[in-house]
Amino acid sequence: MGTHAAPVPTTTIAERVGELVRIPSVNPGQAGPRSGDDGERALSAWLADRADGLGADVTVHEIVDGRANVYARFEGESDRVVTVDVHLDTVGVEHMTDDPFDGRIEDGRVYGRGSVDTKASLALVLTVLEELKAEGKRPVPTVNLVGTISEEMGGLIGATGYRDWLDAHGSRIDQLVVAEPTSCAPVHGHKGGLGLEVTIRGHAAHSSKPHLGANAISAAGRIVVAIDAEQERLAGLTASTAVGNGTVSVNEIEGGLARNIIPDCCTLYAGRRIAPGEDPDTVFEQLRVLMERAASPLSIEVILANGFGSAAFYQDPDTPLVQLLCELAGAEPDVATYGSNALRYPDIADEIVVFGPGSIDQAHQAVEWIDLTEIERATDIYRTWFRSA
């Protein structure tokens, strides 16, 4: 019979968060001179090695270019199966005013890129599993600790890979937590999204005779005005859930050959956030038609970014996992403005919650940090969850 081991101190867990921060894992799509281009590879290897040392059944699943998801299965005492999905990549660091990878502990915080988004979750979940092993115990549910690549940029291909791997193995999850900084409030809904990559074709001419050309930038301007009007329409709708209405905006635009040439081409990118109840295919088609009409008589090509859109993530806040986490955290159910890997998991789990320590307001900042009290709070919640029937 196992003994009851003393809980790992919060300061020790914080040191482990710092250790993970010191393993750069910037998404290759946002890599730069300060980050290098190793992506998540070193962190994937670290997780696989650490989980193997704890006796987990470890699968390393290469997704693309040597970048691998890691699936660590810790057998439980019951037939309940839960997954904690922690994305391994971080956003870029080139804009950071702080040392991005020092992982220092100062003023009751751990600093560095990924500290709040989401290396603290990885560190504390492993800590809770280590505590159980030290006691000679197993978690009550079987726990899948999943490290996924490419959440920050690249179409959530890591989450897609895990979903497809589960499908191929005929596996299903009872409860799934997607680790994100939610201040330990269980998030039960957020918007989906799609991107539209638009190319406008015109005809070049000398700028002294604009009537001989067809100005692609002018057509792009009309598209921008039409998109702004569509956003006003969406904002005036009555939201069906607490997640709110869909939104749309033009976020990138590029065009022009020279200052004395009527531009024959212009490209732009528009992003559309999808509210619960909206169908991404229908939304894409509506926006395609809107843009074509605005650009007329010029022709345009509209491509769906990444090849697909994502419906919103939403479930009833009264589900047992949401209510359990509310009770343990002393928090109310919440919704989020950002997206997460939950968008790829609607058919693989009975319950899904986005949950984790720290505030999203600290994520992606020029100085990123997480408060030690949030680490302690989340660790206690996972201790209870992994030990509960």
Q: Using one digit for the tens of pLDDT, what is the confidence trace for 58-93?
A: 999 999 999 999 999 999 999 999 999 999 999 999
CB-CB neighbours of 223 under 10 Å:
26
Contact present, 24 and 37 (Cβ < 8 Å): no
Q: What six digits make up the tokens of 31? A: 């890599």
State the pLDDT at residue 236.
97
Cα distance from N-terminal residue to C-terminal residue, the chain = 19
Residue range 328-385, pLDDT digits in tens: 999 999 999 899 999 999 989 999 999 999 999 999 999 999 999 999 999 999 999 9
C-alpha R_g of the chain: 23
Global pTM value: 0.91
State the pLDDT at residue 3.
59
- Of residues 155 and 331, more confidence is placed in 331
The average pLDDT across 272-281 equals 97
Beta-bridge partner residues of 314: 189
Average pLDDT, the chain: 96
- Of residues 3 and 385, more confidence is placed in 385
Q: Which domains does the chain have, with CATH numbers?
A: 10-190+312-387 (3.40.630.10), 192-307 (3.30.70.360)
State the pLDDT at residue 161.
98
State the pLDDT at residue 6.
79
Q: In which residue are the tokens 């006003």 written?
A: 232
* Amino acid present at 384: T
State the Cα–Cα distance between residues 161 and 59, nearest whole angstrom.
13
State the pLDDT at residue 389.
77
Contact present, 132 and 386 (Cβ < 8 Å): yes
Indicate if the pLDDT at residue 33 is higher than 90: yes
State the Cα–Cα distance between residues 175 and 120, nearest whole angstrom.
20
